[in-house]
Amino acid sequence: MQDVVEKVYEQVVGRNRGEAEFHQAVREVLESLDPVIAKHPHYAEGALLERIVEPERQIMFRVPWVDDAGQVHVNRGFRIEFNSALGPYKGGLRFHPSVNAGIIKFLGFEQIFKNALTAQGIGGGKGGSDFDPHGRSDSEVMRFCQSFMTELSRHIGPDTDVPAGDIGVGGREIGYMFGQYKRLRNRYDAGVLTGKGLAWGGSLVRTEATGYGTVLFAQNMLATRKDSLEGKKVSVSGSGNVAIYAIEKAQQLGAVPITFSDSSGYVVDEAGVDLELLKQVKEVERGRVADYVSRRPGARLVTGSSVWEVPVDVALPCATQNELDGDDAATLLRGGCTVVSEGANMPSTPQAVEAFLEAGILFAPGKAANAGGVATSALEMEQNAGRTRWDFATAEAKLAGIMTDIHDSCVEAAEEYGRPGDYVLGANAAGFTRVADVMIAHGIV
């Protein structure tokens, strides 16, 4: 079966040259599938693997917009509608200078299996632009979002493709895009975007969901060893939405998060992160981590090195892809880290993942651990369809239940295929088989 998998991977590399992140994501999944295909050879028939690694649709478009000085700019927009076997395409929009076709393809591919694990009836997709909202005025962001949505609106809808936010796309950007969609389509399709404001179709807990879910998954892993997060030191990378709410949930469960970061460096706060100050700096002022240090006695800013150098019990990488490499993994392990739960998409390099698996620590890949965000997006779609809204406790309870189900599905799949405790295999196998079974049922399409 290894020859079948390798052949498919070689085809992916040949067809998608220079898209390193996409190659990495495909290899990680395909390598996990060897025992699955050995046990169920029909998954290698009918070019199923070749179909699942090829997007159903790839959209790239020009996004012209005008800044406050009257200067015209041109960015690229992307939407990869990867797989709709389980439901409408679902996945975020990322606005960041690093965005290109390969990045969006990697994210969309990961989204297929992540969404399958939620059991919420959603397919996989992803999109975004190389536009950088940082430092832009609200008016400039609005004009960009309106231009972006003018083209994107042709391709999305509540039963076709439902985007959400991601890096660089928060409530402000979702609001501007929804307003333009409504204007263009003359329809109040509340379910066409998720991550909306509470006053116009948003869901409670959606803001917190990815960070909360990452921590809940870690708690579930620890429970298999009759342990918990209580009293454990936690390092968190990033300082965006995912990182902030991972810190919040970790504190609620009795842990002590002591780090966070942005592109300027990382903060160490041995007394425990002052969450309200962090929210003020990042969510209200849109400031830098140095602004936190200037107001927090005892906190220090570290530049020129890695946040993973801080000795902790639990690590939560919540920033971006490939932020934690093999050397970082070795440093974490030497420092006594026994749990890693990924809040970002593919934040650990293959070398880091290999080190964690060889050490036998509890390691949760992003497609399982950070699925809380998209799961709650699906819950937002459900509320929109019923024109209702649940209270916070109800939505959080549903999120907790979904994360427990994802954890248990990973555990069961890892055991079924002979590698108990391997959450990478478990997540890939469970997600793949759910999608593959439906693709077979739908025929060659």
CATH number at residue 315: 3.40.50.720
| Distance of alpha carbon 327 from alpha carbon 233, whole angstroms | 21
pLDDT at residue 3, rounded to an integer: 84
The DSSP 8-state label assigned to residue 253 in this structure reads T
- Percent of all residues in the chain with a pLDDT value above 90, rounded to a whole number: 98
pLDDT at residue 205, rounded to an integer: 97
Same-domain check for residues 355 and 226: yes
- Beta-bridged to residue 301, according to DSSP, are 267
Contact (CB, 8 A) for 434 and 368: no
| Order of all β-strands in the sheet with 339-341 | 256-257, 233-236, 314-316, 339-341, 362-364
Contact (CB, 8 A) for 104 and 91: no
| Distance of alpha carbon 246 from alpha carbon 231, whole angstroms | 15
pLDDT tens, position by position, 297-326: 999 999 999 999 999 999 999 999 999 999
From 169, 142, 202, select the one nearest 79 (Cα to Cα).
169
The domain boundary, picked from 369, 397, 432, lies at: 369
| Distance of alpha carbon 281 from alpha carbon 108, whole angstroms | 31
What dihedral do alpha carbons 258, 261, 267, 273 form, nearest 10°? -40
Same-domain check for residues 245 and 334: yes
Same-domain check for residues 151 and 13: no
Q: Is 272 annotated as a binding residue?
A: no
Of the candidates 105, 126, 233, 367, the residue annotated as catalytic is: 126
Same-domain check for residues 31 and 47: yes
- Please report whether residue 15 resides in a domain: yes
Same-domain check for residues 286 and 320: yes
pLDDT at residue 396, rounded to an integer: 97
- Please report whether residue 201 resides in a domain: no
pLDDT at residue 278, rounded to an integer: 98
**106: alpha, beta or left, given left = phi > 0 and alpha = psi -120 to 50?**
alpha
The arithmetic mean of pLDDT across residues 251-263, rounded, is 97
Q: Which residues lie closer than 8 Å to 10 by C-beta, 6 or more apart?
A: none
Same-domain check for residues 83 and 120: yes
The arithmetic mean of pLDDT across residues 205-209, rounded, is 95
- Please report whether residue 35 resides in a domain: yes
Same-domain check for residues 50 and 73: no
The DSSP 8-state label assigned to residue 345 in this structure reads S
Burial of 105 (0-12, 13-18, 19+ CB in 10 A): buried
Q: Residue 1: is its pLDDT beyond 60?
A: no
Contact (CB, 8 A) for 8 and 31: no
Mean pLDDT score of the chain = 97
Q: Into how many domains does the chain fold?
A: 3
| Distance of alpha carbon 378 from alpha carbon 272, whole angstroms | 33
Same-domain check for residues 171 and 95: yes
Contact (CB, 8 A) for 195 and 206: yes
Same-domain check for residues 363 and 227: yes
pLDDT at residue 256, rounded to an integer: 98
pLDDT tens, position by position, 72-108: 999 999 999 999 999 999 999 999 999 999 999 999 9
Same-domain check for residues 36 and 114: no
Q: Is 263 annotated as a binding residue?
A: no
Q: Is 83 annotated as a binding residue?
A: no
Q: Is 24 annotated as a binding residue?
A: no
**Segments forming the whole domain that contains residue 170:** 55-188
Contact (CB, 8 A) for 192 and 158: yes
Helix (H) or strand (E) holding 297: none
Contact (CB, 8 A) for 25 and 109: yes
Here the CATH number for the domain that contains residue 128 is 3.40.50.10860
3-state secondary structure at position 7: helix
126 is an active site residue = yes
pLDDT tens, position by position, 213-241: 999 999 999 999 999 999 999 999 999 99
3-state secondary structure at position 99: coil
Q: Is 139 annotated as a binding residue?
A: no
The domain boundary, picked from 369, 404, 437, lies at: 369
pLDDT at residue 139, rounded to an integer: 98
| Distance of alpha carbon 45 from alpha carbon 149, whole angstroms | 39
Q: Which two tokens stand for residue 41?
A: 């050879």
- Beta-bridged to residue 340, according to DSSP, are 315, 363
pLDDT at residue 14, rounded to an integer: 97
pLDDT tens, position by position, 59-70: 999 999 999 999
Same-domain check for residues 32 and 6: yes
Q: Is 404 annotated as a binding residue?
A: no
- Please report whether residue 324 resides in a domain: yes
Q: Give, in order, the Cα–Cα distances in Å from 236 to each of 135, 209, 221.
A: 25, 16, 18
- Please report whether residue 411 resides in a domain: no
pLDDT at residue 237, rounded to an integer: 98
- Please report whether residue 401 resides in a domain: no
R_g (Cα) of the chain, nearest Å: 21
Q: Is 39 annotated as a binding residue?
A: no
CB atoms under 10 Å from CB of 231, counted, come to 9
From 284, 289, 286, 242, select the one nearest 262 (Cα to Cα).
289
